[in-house]
Amino acid sequence: MCGMCGGGAADPFGALVAGPVRRRIVAESVDRLLPGHSVTFFASGWTVSSQTGSSSVFQTIDALLAFVGPLAARDPRELRDALLDELSRVPTEA
């Protein structure tokens, strides 16, 4: 789903990246991989902006990492696994 109908995109890892603390951790982790880009989070996803002014919005962790992987010369699945491992150490109430 694109989200235009009011529903978010289906994300099998949504519960693991839900909430502002977890979304911030993802944004900061991905931001470190992308010199020349800025990664920010919002209630239902992330925005990746470049120095040239282009920006892309992602509602799922897989969509974000599919975009980031080639830019960072990393396998998106490996990035996802590393992020999920990092998030597994965040308290559940975060």
Evaluate whether 46 touches 30 at the Cβ level (below 8 Å). yes
The band of 1, judged by pLDDT with boundaries at 50, 70 and 90, is: very low
Query: pTM value?
Result: 0.83
pLDDT at site 29 = 94
Which tokens belong to 84? 């999920």
Higher pLDDT, 3 or 73: 73
Between CA 70 and CA 23 the distance in angstroms is: 21
Domain ranges of the chain: 14-87
pLDDT at site 12 = 85
Give the tens place of pLDDT for each residue, 14-71.
888 889 999 999 999 999 999 999 999 999 999 999 999 999 999 999 999 999 999 9
Is residue 93 scored above 70 in pLDDT? Answer: no
